[in-house]
Amino acid sequence: MRKIEHIGIAVNDLKAAGDLYEKLLGSPAYKTEEVASEGVRTAFFRSGPNKVELLEATSPDSPIAKYLEKRGEGIHHIAFDVEDIRAEMARLRAEGFTVLNEEPKKGADNKLVAFLHPKGTHGVLVELCQDMG
């Protein structure tokens, strides 16, 4: 794990939350992007070398919709930047973590992504991200 790639925050309304985070961070989202396969629309903000990803659900069966229904708005996941996502997935499986994806999938912000089940990480949904260059 090279660094924290982004902190993911689940929100009910991306526009309203985005306006607030623009005030909070002092700059607008550098990207908004829909990831249909995940049923999410995202907005990315920079905070120095770090990133914040706001996520709203675009379908009722989205993981974000389910999370919001159950827990309301809040920090949804921590994403880590990895050099080689397939190698990391194999390493973490061998270490006993529950890797939720057979194969990495295309995420937002030009990344290949995979997730670890929060039950195996002390309650934090972990995302692995490899930059696709």
Ligand X SMILES: CC[C@H](C(=O)O)C(=O)SCCNC(=O)CCNC(=O)[C@H](O)C(C)(C)COP(=O)(O)OP(=O)(O)OC[C@H]1O[C@@H](n2cnc3c(N)ncnc32)[C@H](O)[C@@H]1OP(=O)(O)O
Residue ranges binding ligand X (CB under 6 A) = 8, 35, 38, 40, 42, 53, 55, 63-64, 66-67, 70, 76-77, 79, 100, 107-108, 111, 113, 115, 117-119, 123, 125, 127
Stretch that binds Co ion, among 15-23, 65-73, 80-88, 119-127 (CB under 5 A): 119-127
CA distances from 133 to 53, 60, 115, 125, 129 (A): 19, 32, 20, 25, 12
DSSP 7-39: EEEE-S-HHHHHHHHHHHHSS--SEEEEEGGGT
DSSP 86-121: HHHHHHHHHTT--B--SS-EE-STTEEEEEE-GGGT
Query: What does residue 59 show for φ and ψ, rounded to 5 degrees?
Result: -150, 150
State the Rg of the chain over Cα.
Answer: 14
79 interacts with Co ion by CB under 5 A:
yes
Closer residue to ligand X (CB): 29 or 79: 79
* Residue 64 binding result from ligand X, Co ion, none, given CB thresholds of 5 to 8 Å by partner type: ligand X
Closer residue to Co ion (CB): 37 or 96: 37
Total of chain residues touching Co ion, rule CB under 5 A: 4
Query: Minimal distance in Å, beta carbon 86 to ligand X?
Result: 17
54 interacts with Co ion by CB under 5 A:
no
Query: Minimal distance in Å, beta carbon 16 to Co ion?
Result: 20
Task: Estimate to the nearest angstrom the gap between the alpha carbon of 23 and the chain centroid.
Answer: 22
Binding residues for Co ion, rule: CB under 5 A, are: 8, 53, 79, 127
